Chains A and B, each alone.
Chain A
Amino acid sequence: KAGVTQTPRYLIKTRGQQVTLSCSPISGHRSVSWYQQTPGQGLQFLFEYFSETQRNKGNFPGRFSGRQFSNSRSEMNVSTLELGDSALYLCASSLLGGHSYNEQFFGPGTRLTVL
């Protein structure tokens, strides 16, 4: 069974631009969560999607948005990029979602650098 895939793996953007990251979950998994990882901050929860609906959202500004498609693939969008958005963005999929204590499987991440 293929794991969680994220594209692109690396991305360089400039301030003010926008970016879209993609995540393909493990086949059959319906929950996709997004995290931002920065040095000293650990993994910060962005949002979780389940069956195309956002079920939970972390404390990030509205510039961060996402969506999930009928095939469970998910995209994350960041508009008006700021230098502080430089981070590793991780996507995790699970069968049903966190409240069922389902194990999350992580992708390798997208390393975003904002210049």
Chain B
Amino acid sequence: DQQVKQNSPSLSVQEGRISILNCDYTNSMFDYFLWYKKYPAEGPTFLISISSIKDKNEDGRFTVFLNKSAKHLSLHIVPSQPGDSAVYFCAATTNTGNQFYFGTGTSLTVIP
């Protein structure tokens, strides 16, 4: 039962343009969401997070938006750079559990 879903396995964007990665979840108990970035042969690294009390969190070129009513979050990267090419995972957790639920990942390619 995939509680966190990333329906786009891959995405290609031109350097300098905006990259938008999407994530949907089914469990209304999730109250904390994270995005991780993964390069080949490396483990995922934390990128940005958002609590359910917010609808937006920004960190430099990265912004995460949360729409609780739609159970949807998105990661915006502006401007996109070739070094952003990686697999991006979204993850969610609850304030009572010790488990993070991950999506299946979206492979982003930024074309120079």
Q: Evaluate contact between A98 and B93: CB separation under 8 angstroms.
A: yes
B26 near A: Cβ within 8 Å?
Answer: no
Interface size for B (C-beta < 8 A) is 30
**Residues of B that sit less than 8 Å from A by CB:** 2, 4, 6, 9, 32, 34, 36, 41-46, 49, 51, 89, 91, 93-105
Tell me the complex Cα distance, A40–B46, Å: 21
Interfacial residues, chain A to chain B (CB-CB below 8 A): 4, 31, 33, 35, 40-45, 48, 50, 55-56, 58, 90, 92, 97-99, 101, 103-109
Residue of B nearest to A3 (CB): B43
Of A35, A42, A50, the contact of B98 (CB 8 Å cutoff): A50
Q: Given A33, A42, A45, which contacts B103 in the complex, CB threshold below 8 Å?
A: A42
Which A-chain residue is minimally distant from B96 (CB atoms)? A99
Residues of A within 8 A of B103 (CB): 42
Chain A contacts for B41, CB-based, 8 A: 108
**Nearest 10 interchain pairs by C-beta:** A106-B43, A42-B104, A43-B102, A56-B98, A98-B98, A42-B102, A106-B44, A55-B98, A97-B98, A56-B99
